[in-house]
Amino acid sequence: DAGVIQSPRHEVTEMGQEVTLRCKPISGHNSLFWYRQTMMRGLELLIYFNNNVPIDDSGMPEDRFSAKMPNASFSTLKIQPSEPRDSAVYFCATASGVGKSYEQYFGPGTRLTVT
């Protein structure tokens, strides 16, 4: 079974541009998490979904960030407009809500650089 798939793996954009990060969860996983990792702040949870519904978006830094999960197999994290301080590695992780399979499986991450 394929793991969590994220695209693109690397993104370089100019300040003010819109950025869209994509995530395909592991089939059957019904919880999806977006994280941001920086040297200064470590690993931060931005938002998570359960059964495609956003449960907690308190980690979303500001209105420039938005996330959607239109179906069980796809999620996006959008930054508009992007700023240099948004430069980070963004991880998507998913977990199964069935039985004891609780651990989160992480994707390879998207390294975002905003110049």
Give the one residue of 55, 80, 84, 115 binding another protein; rule: CB under 8 A: 55
Residues 84-113 that bind another protein (CB under 8 A): 89, 91, 93, 95-97, 101-109, 111
The residue among 30 and 66 lying less far from another protein, judged by its C-beta, is 30
- Give me the 57-86 binding string for another protein, x by CB under 8 A, dash otherwise: ------------------------------
The residue among 53 and 70 lying less far from another protein, judged by its C-beta, is 53
Least distance from another protein to the Cβ atom of residue 18, Å: 24
CB-based contact 35:93 (threshold 8 Å): yes
CB-based contact 73:58 (threshold 8 Å): no
- CB-count exposure of residue 59 (10 Å: 0-12, 13-18, 19+): middle
- Phi and psi at 85, nearest 5°, equal -70, -5
Interface positions with another protein (CB under 8 A)? 31, 33, 42-43, 45, 48, 50, 55-56, 89, 91, 93, 95-97, 101-109, 111
